[in-house]
Amino acid sequence: MKITFIGHSAFILQDGGHTVVIDPFIAGNPVAKHSVEQVQAMNVSSVLISHAHGDHWGNALDLAQGDTTLIATAEIGGYAGSKGVTNAIGANIGGTVKQPWGSVYFTPAWHSSSFPDGTYGGMPTGMVIEFGGKRLYFAGDTALFGDMQLIGDRGLDLAFLPIGDHYTMGPQEAGRALDLLRPKDAVPMHYGTFPGLDGDPQVFAAEARKRGVTAHLIQPGETLDY
């Protein structure tokens, strides 16, 4: 499979048959190299949204058109439906949504969630995503929390972890998260986009190395073959 980093916490997963986009913050993303039109042209199967903040909800409405499913909490699914998305799937923490490409299981995240217009977005989430024969954990925006141990018990190939600090855990705490999650590989995210998100990916890479986890520092616009 291919993992393309749009920038911030936005990723594109592709396995040759399907394309899944996570937290599609594209327009207004200061580090993004992709345009909304470029991503729209990728024949996106599903858009996954971790929570309603503008830097994650992003261009969800531009991508979730036609047959494309939008998958998130009930509150986000309902909001998307009210904005004209016809294939919005509202689930919640602890539940699994199956799709032709795989599945997404929603986990807790310690954060908050409201839309740019102030509408309450329900609980923020992380996700365990089965895609391309791999089990991926996308933490969303979160603090370190002990129940990451339970998520790790599922057996993870790769964890996407926020390291920027200020709104989420920083690189050292993300290292502690690796103790609980026990993935083989990790990708840091949610850093360097805005002032204040100054968690250092090299610090995270060193924390990962100490634990025998491979950190992949993907630059915006670049693709990791995984």
Q: Which residues contact 39 (CB under 8 A, 6 or more apart)?
A: 6, 12, 21, 24, 26, 59, 63
Under rule CB under 5 A, which residues in 107-146 are in contact with Ni ion? 141
List, edge to edge, every strand of the sheet that includes 102-108: 96-99, 102-108, 125-131, 134-138, 158-162, 185-189, 214-215
Helical ranges in the chain per DSSP H = 36-40, 54-57, 60-63, 74-82, 148-152, 171-181, 201-210
Residue 201: strand, helix, or coil:
helix
Cβ closer to Mn ion: 55 or 207? Answer: 55
Cβ closer to Mn ion: 130 or 141? Answer: 141
Using CB distances below 5 to 8 A depending on partner kind, what does residue 130 bind out of Mn ion, Ni ion, none?
Answer: none
Report the nearest approach of Mn ion to the CB of residue 49 (Å).
12
Cβ closer to Ni ion: 4 or 125? Answer: 125
Does position 8 bind Ni ion by CB under 5 A? no
Instruction: Please state, in angstroms and rounded to a whole number, the distance separating the CA atoms of residues 54 and 20.
Output: 19
Residue 12 near residue 98 (C-beta atoms within 8 A)? no
Does position 53 bind Ni ion by CB under 5 A? yes
User: Interacting stretch for Ni ion, rule CB under 5 A, among 21-29, 52-60, 78-86, 92-100?
Assistant: 52-60
Cβ closer to Mn ion: 58 or 175? Answer: 58
Cβ closer to Ni ion: 122 or 132? Answer: 122
Report the nearest approach of Ni ion to the CB of residue 57 (Å).
9
Report the nearest approach of Mn ion to the CB of residue 191 (Å).
11
Contact footprint for Mn ion (CB under 5 A): 55, 141
Q: Which residues pair with 96 in a beta bridge?
A: 105
Q: What residue ranges bind Ni ion (CB under 5 A)?
A: 53, 141
